[in-house]
Structure 1
Amino acid sequence: MTTYGYFLSSEEFTPAELLSQARAAEQAGFEALAISDHFHPWNDEQGQSSFVWSMIGALSQVCSLPITTLVTCPTVRIHPAVNAHAAATAAVLTEGRFRFGLGTGEALNEHIFGDAWPEASQRMEMLEEAMQVMRRLFTGEQTTHRGTHYTVQNARLYTLPAKPPPLYVSGFGPQAAALAGRIGDGFVTMSPDAELVAQFRRAGGGQKPVVGGLKVCWGTDRTQAVKTAYRLWPNEQLPGELAQVLPTPAHFEQAAGLVTEAMVADAVVCGDDRESHLRAVRQFTDAGFDEVYVNQIGPEQGGFFDFYRTDILPRLKDSATSRLSAGAANGDDREGRRPPQGTTGR
């Protein structure tokens, strides 16, 4: 069964607003939470960037949903050993409901110490070594590591969960999908691309979870919702590798000149048309995703959660149950997907 979760945007909302959204998400019937990990917002209009580990600690105390970072770069801004320390404590606080989403990062967040921003191939090497370091530390044994990119000396984690948090690897192309299949406990990608899912599974991903997400802008006035999405998140429509290499919010604001309001209207579900929202989410389930996270852009949070509680989530879950029943009748168990680790199926 597909898990439907809510995506907390650390770039757009204050810590108090994120906690309120987490409570509302659980009450609305969302089954899990994802949260972004950023040092900067993408642009000044978004205006926030709380520290993700503080937020996860707070979230663990206000709701019982699983929590996944989408995603953390564990290679430059924070050393892998410190990331392992933070992730282990997060897993303890959430009683095993924490999953560590990882990626190769963006210059926007990782350049802040003035280091050169590596090319993509080197960033993937760094990610793989960082994951090796973290997995060794999750054993609770004293760890010394001298590698190509990282050194760890006599480090040991004492506060550990019963099981290490799974490490999900993010990627947006075939090479990254193959890397995720080889080294990850799951795969994260933000496009409903069935071929990327297949690439991950062929490269060793097997039946490991595939996680995705999308932004919507619910509102009763679609024209106004489009304007809100365009004002806050034009960066979502930037082409190529700009999102990985631009270093500051000001650069993203300049590049956003390439994006038009019409492009946002075509790409982002805006308004309150039920079928449009259902179709956007089902694109991910139809592409073979196991977990789908939805983020609401802008201030209309109350209306969004009411809409998804009454009109969207029940229909998504009913259609998933129908597919599961049909698959079982045909001897196909593809829809019998695992729930998020640390939870029971719903």
Structure 2
Amino acid sequence: MTEQSGPRELVGYAVSAERAGFDFEVSSDHFSPWLTSQGHAPYAWTVLGAVAQATERVELATYVTCPTQRYHPAVVAQKASTLQVLSGGRFILGLGSGENLNEHVTGEGWPPIAQRQDMLVEATMIIKKLISGELITWEGTTSGSTRPGSGMPPRTASRSASPSPENRRCSSSPHWLIT
């Protein structure tokens, strides 16, 4: 859990894990730690950028990023494309519908699961179009004109707490992170 250590320590752990033979490293994208005694939750994207520069072969992933409340899908596409370039193609974008603990900070309230899953499906479609390099104008729950990504798209994965019918609606992702 990335909430139990500071950013410098996390980069050091990632380097040590690669040296020990690990081939996959993930970072939670939490705004808040699970417990107040854990201190703070370092910003996952900055830590992953530092890890990308400090390691050479391990795959890196967000576990997971919610692209619907704290972050706009276009911003997630930009971050994922940038990290994919910095990591030399080793990044996997893990997406999920979020948790109130982390997403409430925007003050927008906490939508019911069906609405969050619909928002995730839409956000995933926007992100996939953008990271492929496509210029899009999107009208839906999330609207706006956005620019394409780096042309070096990361693989995407969606997280689901269970394989329930509500969660299966996010099956637009080729990979699943089930917790």
Kept in 2, the 8 Å contact 1:77–1:113? The answer is yes
Kept in 1, the 8 Å contact 2:80–2:154? The answer is yes
Structure 1 residue 10: Cα displacement: 2.3
Among 129, 135, 147, the alignment partner of 1:136 is 129
How do residues 104-253 of structure 1 correspond to structure 2 at under 5 angstroms?
A: 104-147=97-140, 149-153=141-145, 155-161=146-152, 164-175=153-164, 178-180=168-170, 182-190=171-179
Kept in 1, the 8 Å contact 2:3–2:40? The answer is yes
How do residues 3-22 of structure 1 correspond to structure 2 at under 5 angstroms?
A: 9-22=1-14
2:65 is equivalent to residue 56 of structure 1? no
Partner of 1:97: 90
Q: Which amino acid aligns with 2:5?
A: F
Aligned equivalents of 1:169 and 1:179: distance in 2? 11
Which has the larger share of helix? 1
Aligned residues: 177
SS at match of 1:135: helix
Kept in 2, the 8 Å contact 1:177–1:187? The answer is no
Task: Please identify the structure whose Cα radius of gyration is greater.
Answer: 1
Q: Deviations over 1:201-246 (max 9, x none)?
A: xxxxxxxxxxxxxxxxxxxxxxxxxxxxxxxxxxxxxxxxxxxxxx
Aligned equivalents of 1:144 and 1:177: distance in 2? 27
Q: Which amino acid aligns with 2:151?
A: L
With 169-178 and 53-62 compared, the bigger mean Cα shift is at: 169-178
Q: Structure 1 length normalisation: TM-score?
A: 0.49
Q: Which amino acid aligns with 2:150?
A: T
SS at match of 1:170: strand
4+ residue runs over 3 A deviation: none
Partner of 1:71: 64
Kept in 2, the 8 Å contact 1:130–1:150? The answer is yes
Kept in 2, the 8 Å contact 1:81–1:152? The answer is no
Kept in 2, the 8 Å contact 1:99–1:168? The answer is yes
Q: Which amino acid aligns with 1:63?
A: T
Structure 1 residue 89: Cα displacement: 0.5
Structure 1 residue 167: Cα displacement: 1.4
Structure 1 residue 69: Cα displacement: 0.8
Aligned equivalents of 1:133 and 1:114: distance in 2? 23
Partner of 2:32: 40
Kept in 2, the 8 Å contact 1:10–1:48? The answer is no
Structure 1 residue 40: Cα displacement: 0.5
How do residues 252-291 of structure 1 correspond to structure 2 at under 5 angstroms?
A: none
Structure 1 residue 48: Cα displacement: 2.0
Kept in 1, the 8 Å contact 2:161–2:178? The answer is yes
Q: Deviations over 1:8-61 (max 9, x none)?
A: x32111011001100110111111111110101011111121111111110111
Structure 1 residue 128: Cα displacement: 0.1
Partner of 1:294: none
> Tell me, which stretches of 5 or more residues in structure 1 are unaligned?
1-8, 191-346
Among 19, 23, 31, the alignment partner of 1:31 is 23
Q: Structure 2 length normalisation: TM-score?
A: 0.93
Q: Which amino acid aligns with 2:78?
A: H
Q: Percent identity?
A: 38
Kept in 2, the 8 Å contact 1:89–1:160? The answer is no
